[in-house]
Structure 1
Amino acid sequence: MQDTATCSICQGTGFVKTEDNKVRLCECRFKKRDVNRELNIPKRYWNANLDTYHPKNVSQNRALLTIRVFVHNFNPEEGKGLTFVGSPGVGKTHLAVATLKAIYEKKGIRGYFFDTKDLIFRLKHLMDEGKDTKFLKTVLNSPVLVLDDLGSERLSDWQRELISYIITYRYNNLKSTIITTNYSLQREEESSVRISADLASRLGENVVSKIYEMNELLVIKGSDLRKSKKLSTPS
């Protein structure tokens, strides 16, 4: 009689074969871990995954389908990533977190989530104390890195150089980077031009050019879900 504590998928081995005859970690290996803390995901997004994202329009549905294909084909040696762009509250961070989790759970590849402003603050604090080396190496060399809310505010010259260095290093060394950024769309047909101009004014045209080459661009449209939830709450 089979032990009820033994995983019915992998029979307790911790590994399963995929359709293309490769081996991956079984999902039971991740159920025993605190995935959110391992990936540095903020508490607000602990429940965010691909199954809890509910598309409201064509662009959101297209993004979800693109992510599923991206995760299925993910190869950490290629340095490919995704850039989610759109106005606040359309679910960009949810999608970025869901992508990071899916890569970890389906491919066994660990990455890290960082709010860009928080990352800059932490690096500055560690540099002031002369303790930045280990943390910076993790940011630079992690096979998957989420930079959330990139370019949301004007940066000092030092901050701009730091972000430029991180993105350039990851670009040159084929490290996958997932980016979310806010911007205000006024003319949809000019979206790519407006994205470039907005980020270039904060990070520099050279950095934006690298982002375009290393990542697939996904424009997420829709209303601000945060405002919608607040307005729908009974008084």
Structure 2
Amino acid sequence: MIRQPLHPGVQRGCPNCDEDGYVVIRDGEKAMAQICQCVGHCPRCKDTHFVTSEQGNRFAPRRRCECTTLANRIRIFNEANIPARHANSTRANFRRSKLLGPPFSAVSAFIQGFSPKEDNRGIILWGKVGTGKTHLIVATLRDLIFQHGVTARFVEFSHLLAELKSGFDRGQGASSLIDPLVRVEVLAIDELGKGRNTEFEGTVLDELVSRRYNASATIIGTTNYAPLPPAGSPVPNHAKPSQTTNLGDRVGPRVYS
């Protein structure tokens, strides 16, 4: 499928944005997108941001020009709270890292099959530290935002817990942090299961997952822990010592809803 630029004024062959019309930079702790310098005047609306449905008829209905799409999706990206260290995390440079395998294929299929405004099942990437899980999840958010225009948010689970506890100490309720995470179309939770596995952590995850489930909103995430074994699998022999901890041990079955 031929990729269409998000702005008619994008310079063909631009080496900085690869004809995307935007670049992503590190700005403090966050990754922030901005319009590439190659983007010129819009030839369709002459930078008025509006076009008519009938050329030459000044009484014809006006609609927003497609050149406004780029600025809108940059705004959505900048509200996603993506960490600065992942400013350059894309599927393209993950592919060049030669760490390809089932996770990359699963993410690519997820993005291709995603349908905005419809029910979309989530995806959880699990594996050892340093295998590129967070890179892939950020790349997924980036593609969903710029390809589909979906609202999204990235959170690292232990940071969310710390912010909630800090808010409680200041007399704030959990809703001030949880509500914005429920409203976005796609929520990415990094490091699921990272923590002490306390009742508080379980309560937070229960509320977040159940509210998003009831809203038919999508969750994607990463974890260092293996998933629960499929139904019908042989029962583990607990008489033998095991060094394996699965995701269900850490966060329970709630994440699979």
Select which of 107, 111, 116 maps to 2:148. 107
Select which of 201, 204, 210 maps to 1:162. 204
Deviation at 1:26, TM superposition (A): 6.2
Amino acid in the other structure paired with 2:115: F
Deviation at 1:125, TM superposition (A): 1.3
- Correspondence 1:80 to 2:128: no
Aligned partners of 1:85 and 1:183 also within 8 Å: yes
Match of 1:201 in 2: 249
Deviation at 1:130, TM superposition (A): 2.9
Aligned partners of 2:76 and 2:151 also within 8 Å: no
- Correspondence 1:134 to 2:176: yes
Q: 1:31 to 1:209 in 2, by over 3 A?
A: closer
- Correspondence 1:153 to 2:195: yes
Match of 1:6 in 2: 41
Q: 1:79 to 1:173 in 2, by over 3 A?
A: farther
What are the superposed Cα offsets for residues 133-157 of structure 1, whole Å, 9 maximum, x if unpaired? Answer: 3322101222111100101333211
Amino acid in the other structure paired with 1:128: D
State the distance in 1 between where 2:44 and 2:124 align.
34
Note the residue ranges of structure 2 that are not aligned, 5 or more in a row: 1-7, 10-38, 52-64, 228-232, 237-241
Larger displacement relative to structure 2 (126-135 or 87-96): 126-135
Deviation at 1:5, TM superposition (A): 2.0
Note the residue ranges of structure 1 that are not aligned, 5 or more in a row: 16-22, 211-235
* TM-score, normalised with respect to structure 2: 0.62
Deviation at 1:82, TM superposition (A): 1.4
Aligned partners of 1:24 and 1:107 also within 8 Å: no
For residue 216 of structure 2, give the secondary structure of its aligned residue in structure 1. coil
Q: 1:135 to 1:153 in 2, by over 3 A?
A: closer
What are the superposed Cα offsets for residues 179-206 of structure 1, whole Å, 9 maximum, x if unpaired? Answer: 1111369xxxx8xx99xx712212223x
Higher relative contact order (CA 8 A, sep 6+): 1
After TM superposition, the structure 1 = structure 2 runs for residues 1-235 of structure 1, keeping only pairs within 5 Å, are 5-7=40-42, 13=49, 28-29=70-71, 33=75, 35=77, 37-54=78-95, 55-70=98-113, 73-132=114-173, 133-183=175-225, 198-205=246-253, 207-210=254-257
Percent of aligned pairs sharing the same letter = 25
Deviation at 1:38, TM superposition (A): 2.0
* TM-score, normalised with respect to structure 1: 0.67
Aligned partners of 1:149 and 1:181 also within 8 Å: yes
For residue 117 of structure 1, give the secondary structure of its aligned residue in structure 2. helix
Aligned partners of 1:27 and 1:106 also within 8 Å: no
Aligned partners of 2:76 and 2:145 also within 8 Å: no
Size of the alignment, in residue pairs? 191
Aligned partners of 1:112 and 1:145 also within 8 Å: yes
RMSD: 3.5
Aligned partners of 1:30 and 1:105 also within 8 Å: no
Q: 1:160 to 1:7 in 2, by over 3 A?
A: same
State the distance in 1 between where 2:108 and 2:157 align.
26
Larger displacement relative to structure 2 (129-138 or 5-14): 5-14
State the distance in 1 between where 2:79 and 2:167 align.
21
State the distance in 1 between where 2:43 and 2:165 align.
48
Deviation at 1:79, TM superposition (A): 4.3
For residue 100 of structure 1, give the secondary structure of its aligned residue in structure 2. helix
Q: 1:33 to 1:173 in 2, by over 3 A?
A: closer
